[in-house]
């Protein structure tokens, strides 16, 4: 059986972290989201995978290649313009002639999710799950185990069972998708809704993991959930006087200097310089080429590649993107915050700050809980920042 992974979208609500990468390539637990999907399929013996790519497709194709290092065979289909999931799915029509699995590439899943879907033999099946935010998804109505309606992003509460975007489809689905696209329907759920009376869609529930990031602060929740470390693996150099408790991974060429305290699960990439006297608490992921200066404290955060953090930093539940330069005395606490994304405002508990790539932050800067700083921004010495800053903002 083949699998089709839809990975062409951008993920605009996750900006600034999708400025130079598609959503599927955001690193969670130091792995791209899409890698979790590929590995879940491979674990179930599905080795023929077609990736539908579009937005910044080169980043996906260069990372996954032909799939050999993941034990699968990957081919690609291109969606030149991002015109919705139904349009994206049609890009593989000539490559699929039998029942197949279709998966959204921007959700974290595990092998059990695919296993549960494969137990359904023949016909059309949809994986469904309960959600605390059903208004952001397609809410499904069920009768006797079948999907009888889908309401996409409803304005009022109509239930909390949602469509995960994971399907088992017969090849005949392409006829329905083509008619739907010609009628102006952009999403797969819109097409399924329009032809629901003619389809028999079985609802499948799973005991496996399915998680989606809709907004920037969701990345911390995914990072917590994705950690699957056990024991300690240290390919780098651990100086004497370092304390490590719980599962900790340290990549090749990294150095953890004396006096550091690390409580796992924590993942530290390759070529990093940590400490001395740095404290890192669960569930923190640190990418490659990161430098963290002495007496800094980091808790439950995502620090991506080639980031430099000065001494005496205090960072909690933050997401800091590639290439950021942060000077001494930086403070990024977490707490209850009202956060703006596009034209909407959200009350977020335990929100940290979110800093876009290649941003430079001067000494003694404070980012209030829930602050979003756009990519390539500049924040001057001693500034106190809150709210949402656009890309290339300058704060003096």
Tens of pLDDT along 321-341? 999 999 999 999 999 998 888
Task: Check residue 151 and give its pLDDT.
Answer: 80
- Whole-angstrom distance, CA of residue 280 vs CA of residue 296: 8
Which domains occur in the chain, in start order?
Answer: 2-214 (3.90.550.10), 232-395 (2.160.10.10)
What share of the chain in percent tops pLDDT 70? Answer: 99
More confident residue, 157 or 305: 305
Q: ∠ CA(192), CA(110), CA(154), 5° rounding? A: 35
DSSP per position, 120-132: S-SSEEEEEEE-S
Task: Check residue 214 and give its pLDDT.
Answer: 85
- Whole-angstrom distance, CA of residue 174 vs CA of residue 172: 5
Torsion of CA 152, 101, 125, 140, to 10 degrees: -20
Task: Check residue 258 and give its pLDDT.
Answer: 97
Answer yes or no: are the C-beta atoms of 208 and 111 closer than 8 Å. Answer: yes
Q: How confident is the model at residue 154 (pLDDT cuts 50, 70, 90)?
A: confident
Query: For residue 315, is pLDDT > 90?
Result: yes
| 161 φ, ψ (degrees, to nearest 5) | -95, 125
DSSP category for residue 197: G
Task: Check residue 190 and give its pLDDT.
Answer: 85
Task: Check residue 230 and give its pLDDT.
Answer: 58
Give the DSSP H or E segment for 175: helix 173-182
Look up residue 157 and give its two tokens.
Answer: 């509460």
pLDDT digits (tens, 9 = 90+) for 98-107: 889 999 999 9
Length of the chain: 396
Task: Check residue 231 and give its pLDDT.
Answer: 64
Q: Alpha helices, DSSP H only, in 80-157?
A: 85-89, 111-118
- Whole-angstrom distance, CA of residue 86 vs CA of residue 88: 5
pLDDT digits (tens, 9 = 90+) for 217-272: 999 999 988 887 556 788 889 999 999 999 999 999 999 999 999 999 999 999 99
Cα–Cα nearest to 247, from 210, 212, 221, 285: 285
Task: Check residue 194 and give its pLDDT.
Answer: 82
Cα–Cα nearest to 217, from 361, 386, 338: 338
- Whole-angstrom distance, CA of residue 102 vs CA of residue 52: 11
Mean of the per-residue pLDDT values of the chain: 91
Strand 232-234 with 344-351, pairing: unpaired
More confident residue, 289 or 138: 289
Beta-ladder partners of 204: 127
For the full predicted model, state whether its pTM sits above 0.85.
yes
């Amino acid at each position: 059986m083949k699998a089709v992974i839809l990975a062409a979208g951008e993920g605009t609500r996750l900006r600034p972290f999708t400025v130079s990468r598609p959503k599927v390539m955001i690193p969670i637990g130091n792995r791209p989201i899409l890698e979790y999907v590929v590995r879940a399929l491979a674990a179930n013996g599905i080795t023929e995978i077609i990736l539908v790519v579009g937005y910044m497709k080169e980043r996906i194709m260069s990372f996954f290649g032909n799939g050999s290092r993941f034990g699968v065979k990957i081919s690609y289909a291109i969606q030149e313009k991002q015109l919705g999931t139904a349009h994206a799915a049609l890009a593989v029509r000539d490559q699929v002639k039998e029942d197949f699995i279709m998966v959204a590439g921007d959700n974290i899943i595990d092998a059990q999710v695919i296993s549960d879907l494969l137990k359904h033999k023949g016909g059309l099946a949809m994986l469904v799950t309960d959600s605390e935010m059903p208004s952001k998804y397609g809410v499904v109505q069920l009768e006797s185990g079948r999907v009888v309606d889908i309401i996409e992003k409803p304005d009022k509460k109509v239930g909390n069972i949602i469509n995960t975007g994971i399907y088992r489809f017969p090849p005949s689905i392409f006829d329905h998708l083509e008619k739907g696209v010609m009628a102006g329907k952009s999403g797969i759920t819109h097409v399924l809704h329009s032809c629901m009376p003619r389809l028999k869609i079985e609802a499948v529930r799973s005991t496996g993991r399915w998680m989606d990031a809709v907004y920037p602060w969701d990345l911390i929740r995914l990072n917590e959930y994705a950690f699957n470390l056990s024991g300690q693996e240290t390919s780098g150099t651990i100086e004497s006087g370092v304390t490590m408790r719980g599962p900790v991974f340290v990549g090749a060429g990294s150095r953890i200097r004396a006096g550091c305290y690390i409580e796992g699960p924590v993942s530290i990439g390759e070529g990093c310089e940590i400490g001395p006297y740095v404290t890192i608490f669960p569930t923190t992921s640190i990418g490659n080429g990161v430098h963290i200066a002495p007496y800094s404290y980091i808790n439950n955060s995502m620090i991506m590649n080639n980031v430099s953090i000065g001494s005496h930093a205090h960072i909690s539940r933050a997401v800091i993107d590639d290439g950021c330069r942060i000077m001494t005395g930086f403070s990024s606490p977490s707490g209850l915050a009202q956060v703006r994304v596009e034209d909407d405002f959200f009350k977020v508990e335990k929100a940290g700050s979110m800093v876009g790539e290649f941003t430079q932050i001067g000494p003694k800067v404070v980012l209030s809980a829930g602050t979003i700083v756009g990519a390539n921004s500049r924040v001057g010495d001693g500034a106190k920042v809150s709210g949402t800053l656009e890309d290339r903002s300058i704060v003096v």
